[in-house]
A and B are shown apart, each in its own frame.
Chain A
Amino acid sequence: MRLTIRHDPIEVGEYIGQYIAKRINDFAPTPERPFVLGLPTGSSPIPTYRTLIRLVKEGKLSFQNVITFNMDEYVGLAEDHPESYHSFMFRELFSKVNIPPENVHILDGNAKDLITECNTYEEKIKAYGGIELFLGGIGEDGHIAFNEPGSSLKSRTRIKTLAYDTILANARFFNNDITAVPHMALTVGVQTVLDSKEVVIVVTGQRKALALSKAIEEGVNHLWTLSALQTHPWALIVADEDATLELRVKTVKYFKSIEKVQEEVEAMQNKLKGLESVKGDVVAAEAASVGIASA
Chain B
Amino acid sequence: MAPSFNSLVGFTNCLIVQEDGTSLQGDLWVDEASGLIVDAKRAFFQAKQRPGKMVDLGGNILSPGFLDIQINGAYGFDFSVYEGDEAYLQGMKVVAERIVETGVTSLLPTVITQEKSLYPKLLPLLKPFSTLGSATLLGWHAEGPFIEHTKRGAHAPSLLLSASGGYETFQGVYGADNLVDEAGWRLPEGQDVGVRMITAAPEIPGVIDALKVLAQKGIVMSIGHSTASTSVATAAVKHGARLITHLFNAMPQFHHRDPSIVGLLGSSPSLNPAEHIPLVDVTCEMHTPTPGTPIHDASPASPNRNGTLIGKAFQRPFYGIIVDGIHCHPNSVRLAYAAHPEGCILVTDAMKILDPHLEDGVHEWRDGKRFVKEGEKLYLEGTDTLAGSVVTLDKCVRNFSKFTGCSLGEAIRCVTYNPASCLGIESKKGTLRPGAHADLVVLDKEGNVLSTWVRGKQVFNRSVA
Contact A96 B27 (CB under 8 A): yes
> Which of B1, B12, B49, B50 gathers the greatest number of chain A CB atoms within 10 Å?
B50
Q: Determine the residue in chain A with the shortest Cβ distance to B46.
A: A79
Complex CA–CA separation, A100 to B44 (angstroms):
9
Per-residue CB contact flags for chain A residues 244-262 toward chain B (1 = under 8 Å, else 0) read 0000000000000000000
Complex CA–CA separation, A234 to B42 (angstroms):
37
Contact B48 A101 (CB under 8 A): yes
Check if A80 is an interface residue, CB within 8 A of chain B: yes
A87 to chain B, nearest CB (A): 6
Residues of A close to B50: CB separation below 8 A: 100-101
Check if B121 is an interface residue, CB within 8 A of chain A: no
Per-residue CB contact flags for chain A residues 80-95 toward chain B (1 = under 8 Å, else 0) read 1000001100100011
Contact A90 B41 (CB under 8 A): yes
Complex CA–CA separation, A106 to B42 (angstroms):
14
Check if A102 is an interface residue, CB within 8 A of chain B: yes
Residues of chain B at interface, number, CB under 8 A? 12
Given contacts A95-B27, A96-B27, contact A90 B48 (CB under 8 A): no
Complex CA–CA separation, A90 to B10 (angstroms):
14
A94 to chain B, nearest CB (A): 6
Residues of B close to A100: CB separation below 8 A: 50
Q: Determine the residue in chain B with the shortest Cβ distance to A90.
A: B41
Check if B40 is an interface residue, CB within 8 A of chain A: yes
Per-residue CB contact flags for chain A residues 100-122 toward chain B (1 = under 8 Å, else 0) read 11101010000000000000000
Contact A102 B48 (CB under 8 A): yes
Residues of B close to A87: CB separation below 8 A: 41
Given contacts A95-B40, A100-B50, contact A86 B27 (CB under 8 A): no
Given contacts A95-B27, A96-B27, contact A80 B48 (CB under 8 A): no
Contact A90 B27 (CB under 8 A): no
Contact A80 B41 (CB under 8 A): yes
Per-residue CB contact flags for chain B residues 1-22 toward chain A (1 = under 8 Å, else 0) read 1000000000010000000000
Q: In terms of DSSP, what is the predominant structure of the interface of chain B?
A: mixed
Partner of A86, one of B1, B12, B41, B47: B41
Q: In terms of DSSP, what is the predominant structure of the interface of chain A?
A: helix
Residues of B close to A96: CB separation below 8 A: 12, 27
Q: Which of A231-247 contact B (CB under 8 A)?
A: none
Complex CA–CA separation, A104 to B44 (angstroms):
10
Complex CA–CA separation, A104 to B47 (angstroms):
13
A109 to chain B, nearest CB (A): 13
B300 to chain A, nearest CB (A): 33
Residues of B close to A94: CB separation below 8 A: 44
Residues of B close to A79: CB separation below 8 A: 41, 45
Q: Which of A267-294 contact B (CB under 8 A)?
A: none
Complex CA–CA separation, A96 to B45 (angstroms):
14
Contact B49 A90 (CB under 8 A): no
A121 to chain B, nearest CB (A): 15
Residues of A close to B40: CB separation below 8 A: 90, 95
Per-residue CB contact flags for chain B residues 47-78 toward chain A (1 = under 8 Å, else 0) read 11110000000000000000000000000000
Contact A95 B44 (CB under 8 A): yes
Complex CA–CA separation, A44 to B159 (angstroms):
71
Complex CA–CA separation, A101 to B1 (angstroms):
10
Complex CA–CA separation, A100 to B48 (angstroms):
8
Partner of A101, one of B12, B27, B45: B45
Complex CA–CA separation, A95 to B39 (angstroms):
12
Complex CA–CA separation, A152 to B48 (angstroms):
35
Q: Determine the residue in chain B with the shortest Cβ distance to A106.
A: B45
Contact B41 A101 (CB under 8 A): no
B1 to chain A, nearest CB (A): 8
Residues of A close to B42: CB separation below 8 A: 80
Complex CA–CA separation, A102 to B2 (angstroms):
11
B11 to chain A, nearest CB (A): 12
Complex CA–CA separation, A86 to B41 (angstroms):
8
Contact A86 B45 (CB under 8 A): yes
Residues of B close to A102: CB separation below 8 A: 1, 48
B15 to chain A, nearest CB (A): 16
Binding site for A on B (CB under 8 A): 1, 12, 27, 40-42, 44-45, 47-50
Question: What are the 10 A-B residue pairs with the smallest beta carbon separation, nearest first?
Answer: A101-B48, A90-B41, A101-B44, A102-B48, A95-B27, A86-B45, A101-B50, A90-B44, A95-B40, A87-B41
The 12 listed contacts between A and B (C-beta, < 8 Å) are: A79-B41, A80-B41, A80-B42, A86-B41, A90-B40, A94-B44, A95-B27, A95-B40, A95-B44, A102-B48, A104-B44, A104-B45
Given A101-B48, A101-B49, A101-B50, output 8 extra A-B contacts at Cβ < 8 Å. Answer: A80-B42, A90-B41, A95-B41, A96-B27, A101-B45, A101-B47, A102-B48, A104-B44
